[in-house]
Amino acid sequence: MHSSRKSVIPFLLITFVILVSLACGSSTPTNAPASVVTPAPVNTQVNSALPTVPPVTTEIPASATQVPDTPTNIPASPTKVPATATKIPASPTPSYSEPVVLLEFSGTGDTVTDDFVLPACWKVVLYWHVAPSSYGTASLILTGYNKGSGADKTLVNDMVMDASADGMSGIAFDPLLGGTYYFQTENTDAAWNVRLECQDGVAPVGEGMNVQATGGFVTGNYTLPACNKSIFNWSVEPSSYGTTSLILALCNMKECETIVNEMKMDMTSAMTGQALQAVLGGDYFLVSENTQQPWSVNWECKD
């Protein structure tokens, strides 16, 4: 009983000592200030041995920041349309010329003329006259030859019975290509004469067309507007023998178109008719053939 109590006491003493040691160790304050480490001072002085870098300028030169005036200002001239471009130019004043005599020649009876050098001309008007024969008749056949091409054309082929003392006269149309020409007369033993005129560029004699003429004739120029339903009202008187005939061509400054080719016998009054021929506008003239009688043409547009 006593021996067991002695063994317990030392154990208790040891335990007590341990507890006291633990109690003493826990008495150390837990909020003691932590030691603060003071950093060494930074040397802010720049070493004088290093080269000094010049400051970078941030100022932009005025020349670089300002746009020159010339690129931004559009010159006034390109933005303005010249006055001449906005106006329709006035039509030029037509330039007209007087008829030019190209050739005159004469003879008696059947004759072959010399050679003549003639220029090109579209509206060549040929004026001719033949005296009456001793029998009181008047007749003439006139043929023109182009020596270079060998072409020929009958220019006059007329005859009248019971001719007056003045004989017979007429007007014919014959364009010339230019070159060397000669002429031949036939079917006459009387005196005759011929004159050729170039009437290119001659001023018109009027607008519209209302013509009266006698026999073979070439009219002046008449200005006609463009017209599709273009009507030529024509009339020709009968001869003393009761025959009535008329060949009529409408010409512009480039070409001719036959619009009338009529003949009747035993007529006691005028022969009349209408020809339909469209016109493009411009100057036109008429050429009559195969008649010695008075004739007339009146033009009208029915578009």
Encode pLDDT of 148-192 as tens digits. 888 999 999 999 888 888 999 999 999 999 999 999 999 999 999
- The residues facing 251 across adjacent strands are 256, 285
Q: List all residues 6 or more positions away from 195 whose beta carbon is below 8 Å from its beta carbon.
A: 101, 103, 104, 126, 127, 128
pLDDT at position 240, please? Answer: 87
- CATH class of residue range 204-303: mainly beta
CA-nearest of 295, 126, 127, 124 to 211 is 295
CATH 2.60.120.1310 location in the chain: 96-202
63 phi and psi angles, rounded to 5 deg:
-65, -30
- What are 251-260's pLDDT values in tens digits? 999 999 999 9
Task: Specify the residue for token string 């720049």.
Answer: 46
Q: How many CA atoms lie within 13 Å of 296's alpha carbon, on the beta-carbon side?
A: 8
Tell me the residue ranges of DSSP E strands in 111-219.
111-112, 116-118, 124-130, 138-146, 152-160, 168-173, 179-186, 191-198, 206-207, 210-214, 217-218
Quote the CA–CA distance of 124 and 54 in Å, as a whole number: 100
Q: What stretch of H or E contains 223?
A: strand 222-224
| 92-113: average pLDDT | 91
- Report the CATH fold assignment for 96-202: Jelly Rolls (2.60.120)
| 124-149: average pLDDT | 94
Contact by Cβ (8 Å): 290, 160: no
CATH 2.60.120.260 location in the chain: 204-303
Contact by Cβ (8 Å): 143, 186: yes
State the chain's mean pLDDT as an integer: 82
Q: Model-level pTM?
A: 0.67
- Under DSSP, is residue 13 helix (H, G, I), strand (E, B) or coil? helix
Look up residue 146 and give its amino acid.
N
What share of the chain in percent tops pLDDT 70? 69
Contact by Cβ (8 Å): 144, 157: no
Task: Specify the residue for token string 């004699």.
Answer: 205
Contact by Cβ (8 Å): 115, 188: no
